[in-house]
Structure 1
Amino acid sequence: MTGKKQPDLDWHKVAELDDLPEGRCKTVTAGTKSFALTHIQGQYTAMDNRCPHQGGPLGEGSIEQGANGECWLRCPWHGWDFDPITGKPPGGHEDSGQEIFPLEVRENGVYIGLKKEVTKPRTISDVMAETMTNWGVKSVFGMVGHSNLGLADALRNQEVKGNLSFFGVRHEGAAAFACSGYAKASGKPAACLTIAGPGATNLLTGLWDAKVDRAPVLALTGQIDAQVLGPGAFQEIDLSSAFESVADFSQTVLDSSKHGELMNLACKNAIVNRTPAHLIFPDDVQTIGARENASVGGPKGRLGDTAITPSKDSISQVLEMLKKHKRPIIIVGYGAKYSMDQVVHLAEKLKAPVLTTFKAKGQLPDSHPLAAGVLGRSGTPVASWFMNECDLILVFGASFSNHTGITNKRPIIQVDFDQMALGKFHPVTLPVWGEISTTASLIEQQLKINIGTVDQRKELAERWQIWREEKTSRMKDDSGKGINSASIFDSLSRLVPGNAIIAVDVGNNTYSFGRYFECANQNVLMSGYLGSIGFSFPAAMGAWAATQDLQELKARPIVSVSGDGGFGQYLADFTTAVKYKMNITHILLNNGQLGKITKEQRAAEWAVWQTSLHNPSFSSYAKLCGAHGEKVTDKNKLDDAVIKALNYDGPALVEIISDANLI
């Protein structure tokens, strides 16, 4: 309809005059509202776009002429008809049908008039999203979809207010890994958002990675309408059961819930228990208005001091054991990540070598006089030599995995803040329950100035010299099938900034990283206990987000290392990094196969089968995505390529053709 402009309406241009041919309809948007725009016999009309049957998009329907000259706009879903002029259905009553909205045809286009927007009512989702940000959740990774739109709008409101950043991913699995990487880099939780059904189940691998590595993550999943749960509706999955094992806390948000308190519990469980927490949001609950007196939550008064002081008797027993041994070593695990200053002070007093588990790589620079490097399958001969020569082992925050291989043929003092971790796989000589920095400080303070232990620093220097000469020798290896791993990680050891956060994947590339890369003060992230291929790049996205959110991480470069198999898992999310201008340097070792599996097949005397890969040009793919990409086949050109990538302002990929046998 055309007519005089009404002063109490806001007018929105929705189409050009030539956009819609005669006898057609289309969906248009004014503000946030959707309309079916029709053009019939020279007249334009606009009606509510949602069919009252099941919400079908009327603008995607068709205009049909009846036998008696009547005209109908037919819904594309189930064929419900409406008069495009009046909005009435066939034989409809005056109070039924679709609302028709004011419309003006002007010289420069078609306009729809809407009542001036009033402030949207506060919803359940708004209360919970605000509570979440109060707990310090600043980044959300995920996909917006049909069963989480109400929650998504609440997150959008928080983003508009500057309280969080949302990163839309291409696969929900990448969102979960990004959250795990964020948590491992920072110790703080990020959130992942999905729809019901397959969107939610796609999170599970990344959430399991966070769970087994004790990383706090908050999962927010949509769900179908609460009123149709049970019979088996479209995308209905029993999410409570699906997440029961991976999430220590998993609850459905109901109309009757205490919404701020529910989010309080989810955040507290994630942070205190260092594990995934999960909230399920039925679609129809998300947009229900919050109660008038609904209050948001936060951490104030909810968290206590985490410093667990060991008993005096435990400290006395530790001191007695130290007096009886001359060649102690210290092994630190990932659990000691935030306690290294106190552990190193103790090591310096004992003059004891410090070995790390693979997950703890980088927690002590390899240049430190007492550093012995990584112990175990991904480790160095330096660390294994000192374990064999020691007479006492002090273990701080390590889990005794088979991968690390801490011997049980020596007396062991194990310190951990988690009682369940003490003597988890076998008895230890002295289990000590205490927060690691507190316990290490107490031991160090009560030790005599000269306890009589052997100063092992000279031996350490000798062992490092032997190993570095061996690495130099291996750098000369060349079978004509690619660059050897010793050369690749020599280059990275020299060029990657000492304060970088490095996310590594699984496979031969990761074993070589553990063996050859010498850490300065880098923070290394990995899929430790789960060992999930594909971890590194999405985890690097999460780590990058943490550098944007947290002052203590700002300006830390982000580097990701993977093989071709691992990068292929979440290849599409390289475009996510480009979209959000994430400054990530990805080092990709391309050997054309699942090299670790090939090696295992040969070691077990199986035929090598189905481990070869058909790869694109990854460097060209990076360029197609709008990033920097470069392929390296000559080790003499490796340094230049890495330097260019590190200096590039945005996502960069260096594809290195590597030799699967020279690892």
Structure 2
Amino acid sequence: MFKQTAGEKLIDMLIEWGVDHIYGMPGDSINSLIEPLRKAQDKIKFIQVRHEEAGALAAAAYAKLTGKLGVCMAIAGPGAIHLLNGLYDAKLDHAPVLAITGQVESDLIGTDSFQEVNLERMFDDVAVYNQRIMSAEQLPAVVNQAIRTAYAKKGVSVLTIPDDIPRFEVGKEARVTAQFTAKQVVLPMKDDLLNANKILEEAAKPVILAGRGAHGHRDTLLSFAEKIGAPVVLTLPGKGVIPDKHPYCIGGLGLIGTKPSYEAMLEADTLIMIGTSFPFTAFLPEHAKTIHLDIDPAQIGKRYPVDVGLAGDAGATLSWLTDHLATKEDRSFLEKSQDRMKHWLAKLDHQEEDGSVPLKPQRVIHALQEVAADDAVLSVDVGNVTVWMARHFHITHQSFVISSWLATLGCGLPGALAGQIAHPDKQVFAVCGDGGFAMTMADFVTAVKYELPIVVIVLNNHKIAMIKFEQEVMGNIEFGTNLQNPDFARYAEACGGDGYRVERPEQLLPAIQQAVQNRKACIIDVLVDPEEAPMPAKIQFSQAAGYTKHMIKELFEEGKIDLPPL
């Protein structure tokens, strides 16, 4: 009777769980896994990345975009260490990811062998499940438990596999366990629902703050907002929950948000937080009654005091509330917010029409909006580019993926790789700053190699611009933020892709249109104004004072102002 090796069993189990690709780089301590993976390439693809960090970031992005398990693989020691950044991104954004790492052979563990690292200790903080495989017979049950836990807890599972284990045969004594994860729809306690209803019935100026947990419940959320006459504010991870130009949407909140959302929060007497544990509490109302709805009870009231906590599924809970509430007749607060939003959007339109050189970042995002299809995938890097995309790209049905809680530079390109693999027939854009793109740019070659027609738009201002403005708001002169960049368009061509260098407004739209039409991996290198500040929608006095202090300090140091005589 044919017996499988543990390596073959692992690959078969991944296929049975619905995994169709793995990001990684081959190496000595996982070669006994690579061979069975090679033999199964008609069912599960191995996507060779040029850096394990990019592989882990891509796995995290794939999980965020699809809800399916993202899988990455690395050797012991340096390869496993490189995975950490992407795995922490998955942890903080609650994305189900499985990391498979090699390890030195079983009889060498603990001998300070070549590339030996205590991986269980290293991954302990990032993982919801973290185990070393001890035998071939143990492997099947542990693999199932790792994947089930990643799904159930929406987090990272890590399997460390010593190099000899995959070569052993799986004996008949191996435990057989289930290869599925059960799902549930949770409703809050009845008393909590009734208490929430009472607050909502008395609300005169309600505001909804919707986060990632509201995704997939667009119609239900809009029905609820209409019933209570509330404008909807979106967190950054919640962008796309409802269309950005929907009459009930008044944009984001915080330093990347809109003035109408800031003003609505100042005036609100009732706040309904849905699927978010919003960290920037200074932007939330000071004296509003607050209802917090989240599937995870531990998140409710974690950062902000609440009057009623609703621990349950967003869709089911909102449906119950909507069915048990009377329609609010007074729409004056909603209409006031909508009128403010019209003026705000007109202001954004004016910024996007600016034809000056160097190009304004806002104009680049407007051009992207003209070309991007309704179902495009947008992978957005971290930095000033986050601000421009959050404010100026108005999502209809596009997918929007970002490193929201870890906010790690370099996530844009790996996210686009994952987006194109997940959705081969859709337009996929990576929108990056020059600093973020340069961190993972080696994996543009991966897009070329696997014929992934992603379009990377690089906002190139030769600066780590967000940090420059942070330093200046503190009253300091910028330091360590200038970048020496290559010509990214020529780099794209050297890699075998297409490249466009955009320096003037009239070049911008044709470049994006041509890149999409060519269906080939492409970089559009856009030179943008390094002095365009991503100012918050509402500027605090301390920020203005700090920036003024910086300007005076810089002028004095450059000798542009003479000190008054004593």
Tell me the TM-score normalized by structure 2. 0.91
Could you tell me which residue of structure 2 aligns to residue 50 of structure 1? none
* 1:285 and 2:165 aligned: yes
> Which of 495, 501, 506 is residue 377 of structure 2 equivalent to?
501
> Which of 345, 350, 355 is residue 468 of structure 1 equivalent to?
345
Could you tell me which residue of structure 2 aligns to residue 144 of structure 1? 26
Q: Deviations over 1:393-434 (max 9, x none)?
A: 111001121288333431110000001100011321111111
Q: Deviations over 1:349-372 (max 9, x none)?
A: 222111100111122112211111
Q: CA deviation at 1:295?
A: 6.9
* 1:159 and 2:48 aligned: no
- 1:219-618 pair list within 5 angstroms: 219-255=99-135, 257-292=137-172, 294=174, 298-300=178-180, 303-402=181-280, 405-448=283-326, 450-454=327-331, 456=333, 458-475=335-352, 477=354, 480=357, 482-548=358-424, 555-618=425-488
Could you tell me which residue of structure 1 aligns to residue 541 of structure 2? none
Measured in 1, the distance between the counterparts of 2:234 and 2:352 equals 25
Q: Deviations over 1:372-392 (max 9, x none)?
A: 111111111122222223221
Q: Deviations over 1:284-341 (max 9, x none)?
A: 11111121465775534xx333210111111111111111112211110012112222
Aligned CA distance change for structure 1 residues 516 and 260 (closer, same or farther; 3 Å)? same
Structure 2 unaligned regions, length at least 5:
534-566
| AA at the equivalent of 1:250 | N
Q: CA deviation at 1:558?
A: 1.3
Q: Deviations over 1:565-624 (max 9, x none)?
A: 000001110000111111211111000011111111111122321111111100111111
Q: CA deviation at 1:206?
A: 0.5
- 1:7-46 pair list within 5 angstroms: none
Structure 1 unaligned regions, length at least 5:
1-118, 549-554
Measured in 1, the distance between the counterparts of 2:522 and 2:462 equals 21
- Asked whether the equivalents of residues 582 and 650 of structure 1 are also in contact (C-alpha less than 8 Å), the reply is yes
Aligned CA distance change for structure 1 residues 564 and 573 (closer, same or farther; 3 Å)? same
Aligned CA distance change for structure 1 residues 594 and 390 (closer, same or farther; 3 Å)? same
Q: CA deviation at 1:120?
A: 8.4
Measured in 1, the distance between the counterparts of 2:521 and 2:284 equals 39
CA RMSD of aligned residues (A): 1.9
Q: CA deviation at 1:201?
A: 0.4
Which is bigger in relative contact order (C-alpha 8 A, separation at least 6)? 2
- Asked whether the equivalents of residues 416 and 434 of structure 1 are also in contact (C-alpha less than 8 Å), the reply is yes
Q: CA deviation at 1:479?
A: 6.4
- Asked whether the equivalents of residues 354 and 363 of structure 2 are also in contact (C-alpha less than 8 Å), the reply is no
Measured in 1, the distance between the counterparts of 2:20 and 2:286 equals 43
Measured in 2, the distance between the counterparts of 1:460 and 1:627 equals 46
Q: CA deviation at 1:202?
A: 0.2
Measured in 2, the distance between the counterparts of 1:461 and 1:420 equals 34
Aligned CA distance change for structure 1 residues 382 and 251 (closer, same or farther; 3 Å)? same
457-466 or 291-300, larger mean C-alpha shift: 291-300
Q: Deviations over 1:209-249 (max 9, x none)?
A: 00011011000001111111112110000000010111111
Q: Deviations over 1:30-83 (max 9, x none)?
A: xxxxxxxxxxxxxxxxxxxxxxxxxxxxxxxxxxxxxxxxxxxxxxxxxxxxxx
Could you tell me which residue of structure 1 aligns to residue 68 of structure 2? 188
Measured in 1, the distance between the counterparts of 2:258 and 2:118 equals 47
Measured in 2, the distance between the counterparts of 1:455 and 1:445 equals 23
| SS at structure 1 position matched to 2:127 | coil
| AA at the equivalent of 1:580 | Y
Q: CA deviation at 1:478?
A: 6.5
| AA at the equivalent of 1:245 | D
| AA at the equivalent of 1:531 | A
| SS at structure 2 position matched to 1:622 | helix
Measured in 1, the distance between the counterparts of 2:457 and 2:16 equals 36
| AA at the equivalent of 2:94 | R
197-206 or 498-507, larger mean C-alpha shift: 498-507
Q: CA deviation at 1:470?
A: 1.5
Measured in 2, the distance between the counterparts of 1:473 and 1:454 equals 29
Q: Deviations over 1:541-573 (max 9, x none)?
A: 11222225xxxxxx3321111100000001110
| SS at structure 1 position matched to 2:247 | coil
Greater C-alpha Rg: 1
Measured in 1, the distance between the counterparts of 2:35 and 2:2 equals 11
Aligned CA distance change for structure 1 residues 297 and 661 (closer, same or farther; 3 Å)? farther
| SS at structure 2 position matched to 1:148 | helix
| AA at the equivalent of 1:463 | R
Aligned CA distance change for structure 1 residues 322 and 270 (closer, same or farther; 3 Å)? same
| AA at the equivalent of 2:21 | S
| SS at structure 2 position matched to 1:159 | coil
Could you tell me which residue of structure 1 aligns to residue 494 of structure 2? 624
Q: Which has the higher helix share?
A: 2
* 1:208 and 2:71 aligned: no
Could you tell me which residue of structure 1 aligns to residue 557 of structure 2? none
Measured in 2, the distance between the counterparts of 1:215 and 1:453 equals 40
- Asked whether the equivalents of residues 197 and 235 of structure 1 are also in contact (C-alpha less than 8 Å), the reply is yes
259-268 or 605-614, larger mean C-alpha shift: 605-614
- Asked whether the equivalents of residues 433 and 458 of structure 2 are also in contact (C-alpha less than 8 Å), the reply is yes
- Asked whether the equivalents of residues 5 and 136 of structure 2 are also in contact (C-alpha less than 8 Å), the reply is no
- Asked whether the equivalents of residues 379 and 430 of structure 2 are also in contact (C-alpha less than 8 Å), the reply is yes
- Asked whether the equivalents of residues 136 and 166 of structure 2 are also in contact (C-alpha less than 8 Å), the reply is no
Q: Deviations over 1:70-123 (max 9, x none)?
A: xxxxxxxxxxxxxxxxxxxxxxxxxxxxxxxxxxxxxxxxxxxxxxxxx98520
| SS at structure 2 position matched to 1:203 | helix
| SS at structure 2 position matched to 1:399 | coil
Measured in 2, the distance between the counterparts of 1:619 and 1:403 equals 41
Tell me the TM-score normalized by structure 1. 0.78
- 1:62-77 pair list within 5 angstroms: none
Q: How many residues align?
A: 533
Aligned CA distance change for structure 1 residues 185 and 404 (closer, same or farther; 3 Å)? farther
Could you tell me which residue of structure 2 aligns to residue 199 of structure 1? 79
Could you tell me which residue of structure 1 aligns to residue 511 of structure 2? 641
| AA at the equivalent of 1:529 | W
Measured in 2, the distance between the counterparts of 1:645 and 1:365 equals 26
Measured in 1, the distance between the counterparts of 2:151 and 2:282 equals 27
Aligned CA distance change for structure 1 residues 527 and 298 (closer, same or farther; 3 Å)? same
| SS at structure 1 position matched to 2:54 | helix
Percent identity reads 32
Q: CA deviation at 1:154?
A: 2.3
